[in-house]
Structure 1
């Protein structure tokens, strides 16, 4: 993979600090999760848009902070879950990966039909405090870009423009994926807002810009102009899942001795699959018996 095509996020400010801006390419990330979960195109677009929003929202955090996004609509894909952190590491899954719907009236993938137009988006942030911060908003369109725009306005009281795009090839693979977030900060004027609205209205499709070789930075320049843009930093975005055999062993032990005994007697082995990365871990009888010993209550002397 050449350097140009790496998944990368840029963040900065514009117009003398009156805008906070993020843009990201997530093509490799979305393709990795499409491959792992064998998603069909409509589902790929729904999961990919949520992953892209998650990557940018993760970049708003600091240090060891992380967040989980849950999109719980009434559409056939079921729940979409994305986990992201401040280091550019993202993972995710969808309840029903093999959902494919006919194109919508605009000839595009029917993401709203797959997600559903009723339900909620939940964002849980682990900021290292005793309790996590949880924000939730109703789904307003199911297209997800508008839904995250609404989330920022209501839950974080920040007027925000969110653009999310995923372009899928006929063989199901991901051609392009990416997005931007533009947030209005104190000091913004009506004239500034009009200028931004005009730039957003005149924007070609995000995925077609990426397909033409545009970068996250050049997409931001299209929106806010080169003069007014200050890029603060750039970070790589990557798929990362911290699951491991040891972690799955702990999950099995937590089931308790009775349930482990039942698995040993009925199946003789266990297969545990990670929701997020679809990696399967198999435990044979001898390993299960070892875990059963650890799960049994210890006598108190």
Structure 2
């Protein structure tokens, strides 16, 4: 196994790797601090927190898989106790890709599995690149777990055989993705896909959550010729800001905002993702309308 020259360690990262002389590539992600920060902002029931952790791990894996420069979001729209679950990965940040997530549910859900919590529904995958066209794909939540639903997406939409393993427990989340690339002249091992995925299927939940990336890869593939790249760091981060909120409020109109401030003394908006509250008064109102307005409120905000 060829190791990366960068020995920088991080609890939250994506580790890319490929198998030499084959058409197989992979990614491994571990989330700890970023996942904990999501949970610290909301008191989710254990079953909801578990599914949200898997969704966050999936967002990290897919962002690295499609090599997106921009924002990738995974949004589950359920028909059961959990009506919404969303994970978003925003790339190009100085400290690493930023993750955030949220779930909405009715009372305390009694189910444990994805099907029991959502009652079916759909998964919406949105790619919003910094440059270029926005893409959106819809996947039915008709499989046993999120990993199987995503595997169907790659098989049907991308025509790329893909296997995914996702786990979340004890404020840690992790994921493993393997993908078979189109055959080319460098593929000298046509049996590699079956062998590599068979070995990955032996991974245990505790191994995926607790072993460091290189340890896990060595456990699974010590007999393979594996090339490991520099890990990419991840962190919790929210895209909301006071300036963005102020720009968006302008779309409500100066008269409407003035009425709210006169009635309530001030205007507040709160980000659903990070719970940050932004407060605006009469003085702020004049500053808002010296700036160009936006089309709508930033996603995940509510007025008070």
**Aligned-residue CA RMSD in angstroms?**
2.7
Q: Provide the residue aligned with 1:144 in structure 2.
A: 146
Which moved further from structure 2: 70-79 or 188-197? 188-197
What is the CA-CA distance between 1:225 and the residue it aligns to?
3.8
Per-residue CA deviations over 1:68-105 (Å, capped at 9, x if unaligned) read 22111222221222221344221122223964435xxx
Residue in 2 that maps onto 1:156: 158
For residues 102-151 of structure 1, the C-alpha deviation after alignment (integer angstroms, 9 at most, x for no partner) is 5xxxxxx43332233x2221111123454212222211225211111112
Distance 2:39 2:107 in 1: 10
Does 1:282 pair with 2:279? yes
1:212-259 alpha-carbon deviations (Å, 9 max, x no partner): x41123333344445321112211111111321111111221211232
CA contact (8 A) 1:149 1:161 kept: yes
8 Å contact 1:72–1:119 — kept in the other structure?
yes
Structure 1 residues 200, 291: CA separation in 2 closer, same or farther (over 3 Å shift)? same
Q: Take 1:85 and 1:290, find their aligned partners in 2: how far apart are those partners?
A: 29
User: Against the structure 1 CA distance between its residues 261 and 295, is the aligned structure 2 distance closer, same or farther, given a 3 Å change threshold?
Assistant: farther
TM-score, structure 1 normalization: 0.81
Q: CA contact under 8 A between 2:266 and 2:279: conserved in structure 1?
A: yes
Take 1:4 and 1:98, find their aligned partners in 2: how far apart are those partners?
40
If the length of structure 2 is used for normalisation, what is the TM-score?
0.81
Q: Within 2, Cα distance between the matches of 1:91 and 1:295?
A: 27
Partner of 2:232: 235
User: What is the alpha-carbon distance in structure 1 between the residues aligned to residue 18 and residue 91 of structure 2?
Assistant: 18
* Unaligned stretches of 5+ residues in structure 2: 1-7, 294-304
Residue number among 180, 186, 192 corresponding to 1:184 in the alignment: 180
